[in-house]
Amino acid sequence: MILVTGGAGYIGSHTIVELLNKNFEVLVIDNFSNSELSALNSIEKITGKSISFIEMDLRNYDLLIEKTKEFDIEGIIHFAAYKSVGESVFEPLKYYDNNINSLINILNFLKERSISNFVFSSSCTVYGSPEIIPVTEKSEVKKGESPYGKSKIIGEEIINDFNASHTFSAINLRYFNPIGAHSSGLIGDKPSGKPNNLLPFVTQVAIGKREVLSIFGGDYDTPDGTCLRDYIHVTDLAKAHVSAIEYNRKNHNKVIPINLGTGNGSSVLEIVNTFEKVTKIKINFKINPRRKGDVPAIFGDCSLSKKLLGWEAQLSLEDMLSSAWNFEKNIKN
Ligand code: UFG
C-alpha cells in the first residue's frame, strides 16, 4: 500500500488515480486545509476502486502513528504542504511550521515503520531564476525567493541529510508548471478564492467568474515579452509518481532529484492564444506591471526522467488547456 499525504489536493488526486490504475492500494492522509473530501469520491468514481482515508494534520506525530497502525505501508508520496508563493511571504511561519514539521514527522514515521520508498513533491522553484535554460538536475539550487520556495529547498536538504544517516530510497520530483485536469472532468485544480496561478485564472475568466486576466509583465526579455514556463499536464505528472515509486523498489538507497516537465517553454500569451483556439472563447486580458518574484523564463531538461524512470510527458498544450476548460465547466459553484 502507498501512503499519499495531501491526496485530496490537485496533484495528489491525479496521482492516486494513476496508482489505482496500476493496482496499487492507496491510503490517503489529508486535513482538507486546501482541498475537499469530494475529490476522494471523484477518484473512486473514476477508477471504480476504493481508497482508505484518514483526516488528520501531519504535525500530530502521535496521532499519525496511532491512526496508521493497521495499514501495511510500502511507500510514501508526500504532497501535503501549503503552496501559495504570495501567501508564504506574508505568513512565513505558517509555511515553515506546516511544510517542514509535516516532512520531519513523515520521515520519522518512515523510519519507525521501516518504510524504504519515499517520493517528495518538490518544485523547479529550487532553481530560482536560472542563468542557463533548460535547467538540469545539476543546475545550481538557489537560495529561495519566498518562504514557500525555501520550504522546498530545505525539504530536499532535510531528506538528503536524513538519507545520510538512515537507509531509504527517495526521489525529489521537481515539478515545472502542472496544469490541466483528468479527462473525466471530475478532478482538477480548484483553488479556493482568487486563483494565484495562471490556468485557473484563465478558465475563470472564460466562464465569467472573473472579468479580466491580468498578465503580469509584457516587457520581459522573451520572444513576446511575457514570461516563459514549462507547462505540464497533471496526468503526465501523476504517472511520473507511479514510475518513481516503482523505481525506488530497486532499493538504490539514494536521494535522486528529477525534473518533471515537457522541456518546452511557453509564454503567457501563447497560453492565452492556445486556450482561445481550443475553446473558441475570447479571453479578456490586460498587460499589467510585472509580479514581484516572477522568474522571466524557466523550462526543464527532462532527459533524466526518461533515462531513470522511463517516463516522459505525452500530452500536448492543447490537451492541457481543453481538459482544464472541461473541468471548469463541471465545477458546480
Ligand atoms: N500569470 C499571469 N497572470 C496571473 C497568474 C499568472 O500573468 O493571473 C503569469 C505569471 O506571471 C507567470 C505565469 O503566468 O509568468 C505562471 O504563473 P503561475 O502563478 O501559474 O506559476 P508560477 O510559475 O509563478 O509558479 C509555479 C508554481 C509554484 C512554484 C513556481 C516555481 O505555482 O508553486 O512555479 O517557479 F514555486
What is the torsion angle, in degrees rounded to the nearest 10, for the CA atoms of residue 86, residue 87, residue 91 and residue 93? -90
Whether 73 has a pLDDT exceeding 80, the answer reads yes
Of the candidates 118, 111, 115, 137, the residue with the CA atom closest to the CA atom of residue 126: 137
Q: How far is the CA of 61 from the centre of ligand 1 (A)?
A: 33
Cα–Cα distance measured from residue 24 to residue 127, given in angstroms and rounded to the nearest whole number: 33
| pLDDT value at residue 333 | 59
Q: What is the pLDDT of residues 147-167, one digit of tens each?
A: 999 999 999 999 999 999 999
Q: What is the pLDDT of residues 82-96, one digit of tens each?
A: 999 999 999 999 999
Q: How far is the CA of 24 from the centre of ligand 1 (A)?
A: 32
Q: How far is the CA of 37 from the centre of ligand 1 (A)?
A: 26
Cα–Cα distance measured from residue 17 to residue 182, given in angstroms and rounded to the nearest whole number: 9
Sign of the alpha-carbon dihedral angle for 223, 141, 106, 87: negative
Q: What is the pLDDT of residues 273-297, one digit of tens each?
A: 999 999 999 999 999 999 998 999 9
Whether 146 has a pLDDT exceeding 70, the answer reads yes
- CB of 198 closer than 6 A to ligand 1? yes
Q: Counting atoms of ligand 1 from 1, which one is nearest the CA of 213? A: 8
Q: What is the DSSP string of 39-55?
A: HHHHHHHHHS---EEEE
The strand pair at 228-229 and 266-267 is best described as antiparallel
Q: How far is the CA of 67 from the centre of ligand 1 (A)?
A: 36
55 forms beta bridges with: 30
170 forms beta bridges with: 118, 255
| pLDDT value at residue 38 | 96
Which pTM value belongs to this model?
0.98
Q: Kindly tell me the burial class for residue 165, based on how many C-beta atoms sit within 10 Å of its own C-beta (0-12, 13-18, 19 or more).
A: exposed
Minimal-distance CA residue to ligand 1 atom 34: 177
Q: How far is the CA of 197 from the centre of ligand 1 (A)?
A: 5
Cα–Cα distance measured from residue 96 to residue 69, given in angstroms and rounded to the nearest whole number: 28
| pLDDT value at residue 192 | 86
Minimal-distance CA residue to ligand 1 atom 27: 177
pLDDT > 70: percent of the chain: 100
Q: Check if the beta carbon of residue 2 is closer than 8 Å to that of residue 76.
A: yes
Q: Counting atoms of ligand 1 from 1, which one is nearest the CA of 228? A: 15
At the second CATH level, the architecture of 2-179+232-261+300-314 is 3-Layer(aba) Sandwich (3.40)
* Ligand 1 mutation target, pool 226, 229, 269, 273, most atoms within 8 A of CB: 229
Cα–Cα distance measured from residue 239 to residue 246, given in angstroms and rounded to the nearest whole number: 11
CA angle at 246 for the pair 243 and 250, rounded to the nearest 5°: 130
Sign of the alpha-carbon dihedral angle for 201, 241, 141, 266: negative
- CB of 197 closer than 6 A to ligand 1? yes
Minimal-distance CA residue to ligand 1 atom 15: 227
Mean pLDDT of 246-263: 98
Question: Does the annotation mark 148 as catalytic?
Answer: yes
| pLDDT value at residue 143 | 92
Cα–Cα distance measured from residue 105 to residue 16, given in angstroms and rounded to the nearest whole number: 22
Q: Counting atoms of ligand 1 from 1, which one is nearest the CA of 226? A: 15
| pLDDT value at residue 312 | 98
Whether 197 has a pLDDT exceeding 80, the answer reads yes
Minimal-distance CA residue to ligand 1 atom 19: 197
Minimal-distance CA residue to ligand 1 atom 20: 197
Sequence-distant (≥ 6) Cβ neighbours of residue 186 within 8 angstroms: 42, 45, 46, 327, 330
Q: Counting atoms of ligand 1 from 1, which one is nearest the CA of 293? A: 24
Mean pLDDT of 250-271: 98
Mean pLDDT computed over every residue of the chain: 97
| pLDDT value at residue 161 | 98
169 forms beta bridges with: 117
22-45 exposure pattern, b = at least 16 Cβ within 10 A, e = fewer: eebbbbbbbbeebbeeebbebbee
Q: What is the pLDDT of residues 116-125, one digit of tens each?
A: 999 999 999 9
Sequence-distant (≥ 6) Cβ neighbours of residue 94 within 8 angstroms: 82, 87, 88
Q: Check if the beta carbon of residue 82 is closer than 8 Å to that of residue 146.
A: no
Whether 207 has a pLDDT exceeding 80, the answer reads yes
Catalytic residue among 10, 95, 127, 148: 148
Q: How far is the CA of 225 from the centre of ligand 1 (A)?
A: 15
